[in-house]
Amino acid sequence: MIETVTFRSSLVLASICKNAVTIGGKTIMEDDDPETLDPALQKKHHDMLERLSARHQARKSDSPDTSSSSSSSTLESTSSFLAKFSDAKRSIESRIAESRLVSSSSSTDSSKLKSDLADISLAINNLEKLLAENSYFLPSYEVRSSLKIVSDLKQSLESLSAELIPKKKFSFKSKSTSKKLPEIQKPGVVSPPNLPVPVRDSPGLRNKRGETLVKSFKGSSIGEFTLSDLDSCQVQLSGTVSALFLHRLKYCNVYTGPVVGSILIDDVQDCVLVLASHQIRIHCARESDFYLRVRSRPIIEDSNGVRFAPYCLDYQGIEEDLKTAGLDEETKNWSNVDDFRWLRAIQSPNWSVLPEEERVSSVSISSDAGS
């Protein structure tokens, strides 16, 4: 008799076939109770699921490994990130509560207390770094939620420090000739923690000035690709990759074929970028135009003077590449931009739709050179 736990685990694998398997004329759904099934039918079902699992694993092993060049700290999926993030969050909350409890004792060593608070601060910084390293593949709502959690933890630590570390006693001092006014934050502007964007150690084009850079990914097994430290360059990328990273670009025109996963952009100025991807995140962009096709809403942060228009790239085979990447349908999300620095209901002043009379109607590039 197959154990109930093993049977239920196998039923999860059956979701590959729309959560149902038919054996001997009987359809088994994942909610069926294994105790009610005939033992012979259970064995047939188990054998079928084993074959399905083996076939699924074989397909996964045949697909190109797109994460081989990622840093070891970068997680491979949203679910694994959330699990690790939640564990770290609970640990920090527990340490804050423990420090508050220990401090109530009159024999508490102040130097030990300061050391504990410093350790908690380091743990929060590591949590923020974890979020930064994995933000490029996370859904936007998970990034918002995680940013809020980090901010709340920092606030909790600040409150605890104010409670536990005594302030200096009041004393009269000579009158100061000038006063520093408190900084007032503008209404409607949110200030989440600044996330340092990690520079990827992946294949790419780096440290170029005034050049035309052409690359084709046709027949290539490259997973991730990076454009970094380019000045006054024209970049033409045809074919598909799994992820694309752009860092420190000035006065560049970048034309890329569809990206199967995400595009992460950091520090671009006075650029024209024609991009297609499932998810696009833009950090520190200034005075740049983006021509996009994107499945989810584009995200900007710490950016201003950026304008958006629909994707306009053309090269031989691009329709096939768009279909392969799951981007053959225009969602019109290019104009549904989320500004993480602007929470008011009115339009963010940091971005706008590029007027039609100023748009480039179509850009054609070669699909062969630079393979």
φ/ψ (deg, to 5) at 242: -85, -35
Is the pTM for the entire model greater than 0.85? no
Do 37 and 8 touch, CB atoms closer than 8 A?
no
User: Which residues have CB under 8 Å from 23's CB, separation 6+?
Assistant: 41, 44, 45, 48
Q: Is 13 exposed, middle or buried (0-12, 13-18, 19+ CB in 10 A)?
A: middle
Per-residue pLDDT of the chain (371 residues; tens, 9 = 90+): 444 444 444 444 444 344 444 444 444 444 444 445 556 666 665 666 666 566 656 555 554 444 444 444 444 578 888 888 899 999 998 888 888 777 666 556 677 778 888 888 889 888 888 877 777 677 777 777 888 888 888 888 888 787 766 544 444 444 444 444 333 333 344 444 444 445 556 788 999 999 999 999 887 777 889 999 999 999 999 999 989 999 999 999 999 999 998 999 999 999 999 999 999 999 999 999 999 999 999 999 999 999 999 999 999 999 999 998 899 888 899 999 998 877 777 888 999 999 999 999 899 998 775 55
Tell me the C-alpha distance between 82 and 127, whole Å. 11
List, in sequence order, every residue forming a beta bridge with 231; answer none if it has no partner.
209, 250
| Domain 78-164 belongs in CATH node 3.30.2010 | no
Smallest Cα–Cα separation from 73: which of 65, 84, 63, 64?
A: 84
241, containing H or E segment: strand 241-250
Structure tokens at 233: 């360059």
Q: How many CB atoms lie within 10 A of CB 339?
A: 23
- 204-364 topology per CATH: Pectate Lyase C-like (2.160.20)
Q: Give the separation between CA 283 and CA 274, rounded to whole angstroms.
A: 16
Q: Across the chain, how many H-helices and E-strands are there?
A: 6, 16
Enumerate the domain spans of the chain: 4-60, 78-164, 204-364
